[in-house]
Structures are given as structure tokens and as C-alpha cells.
Chains A and B, each alone.
Chain A
Amino acid sequence: MVAFSRNRSNSYGKEAHVTTSVEPQAPASAAEQFALRQQSPLQRIQHLLHAHPSLSPLMVLIVACIAFTIINPRFAQPATISIILQQTAVVAALAIGQTLIILTAGIDLAVGATAILAMLVMANLAANNGVPGGLALLIGIAVGTACGFLNGLLVTRLNLPPFIVTLGTLSIYTAIGLLYSGGASVGKNKMPSILNLMGTRFPIGPFRLTIGVVVVALLAAVVAFVLSQTSWGRHLYAVGDDIEAARLVGIQVDRVLLSVYTVAGLIYGFSAWVLIGRAGTASPNAIVGANLETITAVVIGGTSLFGGRGGIPGTILGALIVYAFNIGLALAGVDDQLRVLAIGVLIIVAVSIDQWIRKVKA
């Protein structure tokens, strides 16, 4: 009967409800009738989005692209699309790590700080300490991984909320990065070419992509595969969905969480390489907005901040939406503040949709 009252919009449900109250001797047939009811179009959309959470960002991206192209046909030119992809790559890479953490119902505010620290380590080691480029790169990635591991240790061993842990390490990693580098940037010509590899451009048809774009796409594919096809991925979702249930069925929750933060750190370290390629230099002031931008991409991509729902495809779409809006609105000649406003509206709409689809019923 609870179900009846919750489905007021449904005409069949109402009918069944009326039938039961008029003819109380036939509740079974009313229940059967209710079970066979037609879903309203809105309910069908709700079910569809529930089953495929990345559909809504996909729709937003398609509609936005069509709209921006109508406003200014230059938006659809290969050169513009190439720029969007190149700009998206760094935030998309970082957002992949952020997605893993948000799927466990956590959040990582130290994402940018970690990537910058890793980047400064690789660049300074290679440029100032004479460490070979490849080794400097690996050490930098290892530093990123260690940062993630430390976050994970604090979350699992001290049972601190991820928000507080990463708020603290955001400052710590930022400060270490500045102390280590002395606040100085490392220029492109001082770094070995391997560190700038990700920025190397090459043509594909009319498009000009960077190696970074391709590598980030591969990274996304690998992480998406691991999330959907392996036990680790499934446990990650279970931990984010209902941590107590995960514990009770025998999943080693702390071990999963620690591994998630560590893998995220690894991805941030790797993203630092992509970042150097994109920026050309290794500056302590690179991607200061990374925290909010990655969270924005994840949320617009349909991953739930409450954990357990969403995934990598949505995040990639979310990151693309942010940069498509940036460039599309710039090409439309709109004031920059309106672009910021539009992203804000998108975030709120995305979270509202998430709340709505969680209320889905059979």
C-alpha cells in the first residue's frame, strides 16, 4: 500500500487503489493489476537513468554542442574540438582519480596539490639534480602515489572523514611543493624531452591531438574496465554504497579504501606528467582550480557524492561538458561570468537528478 501512495502520478496505480477500497474482497487482482501497470514516461526516464547514469551528461553534451554550433559554427570546427580535447585531458585525468574516491563516498580536496607536488618533483629532479628524465618521472609518480597512500592511511587508520583528511593534506602537500621548489617554475627548455612528451602534438585527419589526450583516453578505458569487470571494482562500489553491508559480507573495507586512495594518488602522479606536457612548464601555480574542477566534472558526470553510483564514462563526459561550455560560451561572445554561472547551474541540476533517480522504485 505504501507503493500505491508513492505512485500518485500513475493513473493505473490510482485506479488500483480505488478498486481496493471499493471492493476489498479482491485485493489480489488489484495487486496484480498494479504489478502490470504501465509506467508513466517520467518513470521510464527515471528507470533508464537509474540503469545508465551517464545518459544525462551525454544528453547535456550533445544538446550543448548542437546549441553552440548553431550560435557559432566555428565551435564544430576540428581546430576548436582539438583545443577542447587538449584542455580537457588534464582535468579528466585527475577527475578519474577523484571519481574512484567519490564512488567510495569520500572526497579528495588534495587532488591538485598532489599533482603539483608530483610535477615539481619530476621537473626539479630532472632539471636541477641531474636525475635522468625517466627516473625523475617515476619518482614523481611515486610521490603522487605516496600522497594518496597517506590520505588513505589517515582515512582508514585514524577514521577521519576524507573531507578533513584531504583538507589537511591539501595544505601540507602545497606547502611541501613550495618549500621544495622554492616557489620557482621549471621552464620547458630545462626539462628532458620525456617530461614534455605528453604535450607532443600529432594530426589525426583534420584534428590535432596531443599524446596526452590519447593516453588519458586509454587511462579512462583501463580504469572503467577495472571498475566494471573486476572484484576490486565491485567492492569499491559496495563500500561506497553501504559500507556496513560491505563489511558484513566480508569485504575488507579498510583495505579497499586504502587501495582506492593509493590508486588515485598514482593517477594524480601520472596526471602530473600530462600536466607538464599541457602547460609546457612546471609551475607551483598550475591548475589551482583542480579541486573544484575535478569535483565538478565528477558530479556533472552523474557520479553520486553519496557514493556507490556513477563511473568513469560519466566523469569524462562531465569534464568535456565543462570545457565545451567554456569554449562554446566564449565563442558565443558571452560574458565570462555567465559561463561560471552556467557551470554552477549544471552542478545543481546534476545533483538534483542524482537525488531523483535514487528514489527509483520497482
Chain B
Amino acid sequence: MSTTPSSSELTEEEKGTVGLGNPPVLANPSETVLSARGLIKTFGKVVGLDGVDLDLFPGEVLAVIGDNGAGKSTLIKAMTGALIPDSGQVFLDGNEVHFKTPQDARSSGIETVYQTLAVAPALDIAANMFLGREQRRSGPLGSVLRMLDKKGMKEAAGKSMANLGIATVQNMGQAVETLSGGQRQAVAVARAATFATKFVVLDEPTAALGVKETGQVLNLIQQIKEKGLPVILISHNMPNVFEVSDRIHIARLGGCAGVITPKSHTPTEAVAIMTGATTLAKG
């Protein structure tokens, strides 16, 4: 259990960044929704995570950016049970957790929207919203015959979509494969927002979308934030990241090249740090 934050190897500047100074000040895990300390994950000889620290504060949108292979997906997976870190600690609401599977994280209130969306195309919207946690009918129809409460789930699905301001989809009985890419994304995001109690992870939610649909997804992220749920947004897209995020965690070469905010740095600087053209230097 390495508790030495490897980010101490980096030199960071003090441009008004939150939870970051020189030497780096990591938040007390009791003040964060999620904290990772010294996460290490290796794949054979490849170092996926090289002692990464991360803090997610209540009510914020934290972007995780980084080049391909920088370790952003590995970092998220190591925190949400999809991968088990070789070493390091993860705290949820100040309590150390050891997620073994994504289901462990899910049952703790962490919802992830995967790049592949994880929807069953032939099933309808309501079925997808409740997939894996279907509701049964009350009374003997549910307890003895195990009948699904299809009507109730449809209504609840419609309500969740409406709460997030998704008006383009009306019929919850529509098969997901008949929806546009943006609408599918909306279904996946609405599902995550409905069932998450701690935070939502969005993995490249706008990668496959057009301009208009991207705007809708960014709007959804704001809606989730307004609900009081923190969001971790993994993205390549600098304009999107700078539009919606409060803080930006820059992953680089399996480590963290620094945490910046949209106010303290420009997208160009963020890209420079991400690619290693610049390092966050003091002063």
C-alpha cells in the first residue's frame, strides 16, 4: 500500500487550482465523494497506472483528459471495479472501498456510461433503463409469477427522461435500435443519472455525436450536476471539457500531469500538458 503520492515527483504551479499546491495538497478523503491514492496497475511489463491520485468533490464535474494510452480509462476502471488495482486505495465518502466487479461499484451508487453505451438494441427504452434491475409487480403476480411491472417501468423511464429535459424521445416502448446516436446516448445517460446516488462516470460521451447532439449531452451533464450528482467526464474533446467541467485531471504516461481548471488554463495549455510539450511548473 503505497501512500506516497507519486505526483510529488511533479512540480505544479499554483494558478488557483483547487486541492493542488506546491507541495501538492491532497484533500482529506472525508471531504471528497471519491478519492484515489497511489493507484498502481500493471499489465505484465506495461505500467498502466503509476501511482495516481484523484479527488472528486461534491457537486463538481471533473474532466479526465489524456492522450491515447495515457491511462485515463485504466484509472476510471481501477476506481469503479472494472479493474482491480495492484496497489493503492480508493475512498468513497471517506470510507475505503475494494470494488471487485463493476457491480460492486454500481451497488454503491456509482453509475458508468460506457463508450459502447451498454444498451441492448432490440429491447425498448424502458427495458434498457431497467436492464439488470427490473421491477416486479406488486402482490402475487410479482412474488409468485415473477411478473415484471412493465407499465410502472415505462412510466418511471418516461419521468427520468423528462426530468433530464430529454424531449426528443416520447415513446418508451420504442426499440433502442430505432433511435439516433444522440438519443441512445441520452437513454444511457438518463439510466446512469436515475440510479446513481454517488456519482456518474461518462466515458467519451460525445465521441460519436454530431454538433447538435453533443450540445444536448453537455446539457445533460449540467442537468446531472444540478441534481447534485458529481460527474467524472472522460473526454478528448477540449472545447467540451472546458465548457462543462469545474476541474480537469490530466492523465499522462500512466500518471497525472496535473489538475487544472478551465479558468486557470487555456485549452491549448491543457493539450500542451497532456502531450508533454509543457509541464506544470511552479510560478
Residues of A participating in the B interface, judged by any CB pair closer than 8 Å: 3, 50-51, 229-232, 234-235, 237-238, 241-242, 244-246, 248-251, 308-309, 358, 360-362
A13 to B102, CA, bound (A): 43
Closest chain B CB from A150 CB (angstroms)? 27
Give Cα A65 to B185, complex, Å: 46
Minimum CB–CB distance from B153 to chain A (whole Å) comes to: 10
Complex-state Cα separation, A94 to B130, whole angstroms: 32
Residues of B within 8 A of A231 (CB): 134, 136, 146, 148
B122: chain A residues at CB < 8 Å are 237, 241, 308-309
- Quick check: B148 and A245 within 8 Å, CB to CB? no
Q: Which of A232, A238, A244: most chain B CB closer than 10 A?
A: A238
* B112-120, B214-222, B233-241 - the one binding chain A: B112-120
Task: List the A side residues contacting B114 at CB < 8 Å.
Answer: 248
User: Which residues of chain B have C-beta atoms less than 8 A from A232's C-beta?
Assistant: 146
Could you show 27 A-B contacts with beta carbons less than 8 Å apart? A50-B178, A51-B175, A229-B148, A230-B146, A231-B134, A231-B148, A234-B123, A234-B131, A235-B132, A238-B131, A241-B120, A241-B121, A244-B118, A245-B117, A245-B118, A245-B119, A245-B120, A245-B131, A246-B131, A248-B112, A248-B116, A248-B118, A249-B132, A250-B132, A309-B122, A361-B178, A362-B179
A250/B133 contact (C-beta < 8 A), A241-B122, A242-B119 known = yes
**CB interface residues, B 123-165, toward A, < 8 Å:** 123, 127, 131-134, 136, 145-148
Cross-chain contact A229 with B123 (CB below 8 angstroms)? no
Residues in A neighbouring B134, C-beta threshold 8 A: 231, 234
Q: How far is the CA of A358 from the CA of B134 in the complex (A)?
A: 25
Given contact pairs A235-B131, A246-B132, enumerate 8 new A-B contacts (beta carbons under 8 Å).
Answer: A3-B180, A229-B145, A231-B136, A234-B123, A237-B123, A238-B123, A241-B122, A362-B178
Contact A360 B127 (CB under 8 A): no
Most chain A beta carbons < 10 A, residue from B122, B134, B145: B122
- Counting chain B CB atoms within 10 Å of each CB, the highest count among A231, A232, A249 belongs to A249
Whether a CB of chain A sits under 8 angstroms from the CB of B103 is yes
Among candidates B102, B127, B174, residue contacting A248 with C-beta atoms closer than 8 Å: B102
> In the complex, are the beta carbons of B133 and A308 less than 8 A apart?
no
In the complex with contacts A250-B132, A362-B178, A230-B118 CB distance below 8 A: no
Closest A residue by C-beta to B103: A250
- Chain B residues with CB under 8 Å of A246's CB are 120, 131-132
State in angstroms the CA–CA spacing of A301 and B147 once bound together.
Answer: 25
* Interface: B96 (CB within 8 A): no
* Residues in chain A near residue B112, CB distance under 8 A: 248
- Tell me the minimal C-beta distance from B76 to chain A in angstroms: 13
Tell yes or no: B100 within 8 A of A by CB: no
Chain A residues closer than 8 Å to B226, beta-carbon distance: none
CB closest chain-B residue, reference A241: B120
Minimal beta-carbon separation of B181 from chain A (angstroms): 9
Give chain B nearest CB distance to A335 CB in angstroms.
40
Q: Mark out the residues of chain B between 96 and 110 whose CB falls within 8 Å of any chain A CB in the assembled complex.
A: 102-103, 106
Instruction: Please determine whether A244 and B133 come into contact, CB atoms closer than 8 angstroms.
Output: no
CA gap between A241 and B112 in the complex, in Å: 20
Q: How far is the CA of A238 from the CA of B121 in the complex (A)?
A: 9
Which residue of chain A lies nearest to B181 when distances are taken between CB atoms in the complex? A2
Interface size class of B (residues with CB under 8 A): 20 to 34
B146 close to A237 (CB less than 8 A): no
Q: By the criterion CB–CB under 8 Å, are A245 and B102 in contact?
A: no
- Say yes or no: is B177 at the interface (Cβ < 8 Å to chain A): yes
Residues of B close to A249: CB separation below 8 A: 118, 131-132
Instruction: Tell whether, in the assembled complex, residue B102 and residue A250 are in contact, meaning their CB atoms are under 8 Å apart.
Output: yes
- Complex Cα distance A360/B121, Å? 11
Least Cβ–Cβ distance between B2 and chain A, in angstroms: 30
Once bound together, how far apart are the Cα atoms of A222 and B131, in whole Å? 22
Least CB distance from B32 to A in Å reads 25
- A244 to B112: give the CA distance in the assembly, Å: 14
CA distance A230 to B174 in the complex (A): 19
CB contact between B180 and one of A235, A358, A362 (< 8 Å): that residue: A362
Q: Once bound together, how far apart are the Cα atoms of A248 and B102, in whole Å?
A: 8
How far is A278 from B117 in the complex, measured between Cα atoms in Å? 49
Compute how far the CA of A251 lies from the CA of B120 in the bound complex, rounded to whole angstroms. Answer: 12
Q: Report Cα–Cα, A308/B127, bound state, in Å.
A: 13
The one of B102, B121, B127 that contacts A234, using a Cβ cutoff of 8 Å:
B127
CB < 8 Å: which of A230, A248, A360 contacts B148? A230
Complex: chain A residue closest to B124, CB-CB:
A51
Which residues of chain B are within 8 angstroms of A238 by Cβ–Cβ distance? Answer: 120, 123, 131
CB-CB < 8 A to B116: which residues of A?
Answer: 244-245, 248
Residues of B within 8 A of A245 (CB): 116-120, 131
When distances are taken between beta carbons in the complex, the residues of chain B under 8 Å from A248 are 102, 112, 114, 116, 118
Instruction: State whether B120 touches A242 (Cβ < 8 A).
Output: yes
Instruction: For residue B146, give the distance in angstroms from its CB to the closest CB of chain A.
Output: 5
Report whether A230 and B147 are in contact in the complex, using a CB–CB cutoff of 8 Å: yes
Which residue of B has the minimal Cβ distance to A306? B122
Q: B136: which A residues are within 8 A, CB to CB?
A: 231
When chains A and B are docked, how far (Å) is the Cα of A242 from the Cα of B133?
A: 17
Interface core residue of A234, A235, A246, A358 (most chain B CB under 10 Å): A234
Chain A residues near B145 (CB-CB < 8 A): 229
Asked if A242 and B147 sit within 8 Å, CB to CB, the answer is: no
**Residues of chain A lying within 8 A (CB to CB) of residue B177:** 358, 360
Give CA–CA (A249, B119) in the complex, Å. Answer: 8
